[in-house]
Amino acid sequence: MLTVVLIDDDPISTFVTEKLIEKNVQEPVRFFKFSDPRKALIELRKIRPNFLFLDLNMPEMDGWSFLDSLNGESKDTNIYILSSSVDERDINRAASYKMVKDYLAKPLVKTSISSIFH
């Protein structure tokens, strides 16, 4: 079973991402959803996800601070930025994090799912 963590303060975006993954991934998937990245950091060691999708713009802690707080943990997790920002500076900044596999624009699309999970 695959384990996926979704970190996003927008419940609609989280719902859409979850349903798209469920429909297009052949393996069973267990989801953990967090609207607060600080709570996700606490739980991450126990969850040990295969995949983590991270929004950048959140009120209490943004995605950048979350990535900085990982301190090399979750090295076995495939981390993807999933953001509505298409700012080139954000895309370049994401590329500077070795743990980030890719930067994806919201909403997640079927072709992205195929390349991530296959």
Q: Would you list the DSSP string of 28-54?
A: -EEEEEES-HHHHHHHHHHH--SEEEE
What is the CATH topology of the domain spanning 2-117?
Rossmann fold (3.40.50)
Question: How is residue 108 annotated by DSSP?
Answer: P
Query: Token pair for residue 108?
Result: 């997640």
User: How confident is the prediction along the chain (118 residues), in pLDDT tens digits per residue?
Assistant: 999 999 999 999 999 999 999 999 999 999 999 999 999 999 998 999 999 999 999 998 999 999 999 977 777 899 999 999 889 999 999 999 999 999 999 988 889 998 999 7
